[in-house]
Amino acid sequence: MAKPITEKFEQMTLEVATDETGTTWAKVCGLVGVTITRTATWDSTETPGDCDNEALPMDVEREFRSLQVSVSADGVWAQQSNDMMLDWFYNGERKTIRLGNQNAAVGDTQYESGPAIMTTLTNQRSKGQKVTASIQLEFDGKPTRLAKAA
């Protein structure tokens, strides 16, 4: 049996576009823990399992409704990222972000990209420790999946 091909810490990336066209990207300095959550919403409808025997249990039929992709990231507060994150939060901006899997196989999804809003920005201090930062981002719509080129 073949061993799994895995991905290293630095190969899973969170980047923010530094220009309007989304051609120049930068990592958010200080944020080292990133969690990506992909959620599918399905509606459920109970339907008769048997029209002739109402004593039988109902069937549950599901219909796809929506997708949501969100990102939480945490790490240390970094001076280089402070104003960018505060502006993003306070101005209610949509910034183009991309989530990268740099070890993706050619033809597989390397990036999920699109406009995102910052819904949470948290800073915390503890005596003897560096100040920390954490953010919550949500894609505004479904991100575009981009395949890894050869």
Per-residue pLDDT reduced to its tens digit, 7-59: 999 999 999 999 888 889 999 999 999 999 999 999 999 999 999 999 999 99
Q: Please, are residues 121 and 135 in contact by the beta-carbon 8 Å criterion?
A: yes
- Say what the pLDDT of residue 78 is: 96
Q: How far apart are CA 141 and CA 92, in angstroms?
A: 16
Which DSSP helix (H) or strand (E) runs through 16?
strand 12-17
Dist. CA 42–CA 61, nearest whole Å: 10
Domain extents for the chain?
9-147
Distance CA 89, CA 138 (A): 12
> Mean pLDDT over all residues of the chain?
96
| CA neighbor of 69 nearest in space, from 109, 100, 111, 38 | 38
In CATH, what class is 9-147? mainly beta
> Rounded to two decimals, what is the model's pTM?
0.88
- pLDDT class of 150 with cuts at 50, 70, 90: confident
pLDDT, tens digit, for every residue of 70-95?
Answer: 999 999 999 999 999 999 999 999 99
User: Please, are residues 79 and 35 in contact by the beta-carbon 8 Å criterion?
Assistant: no
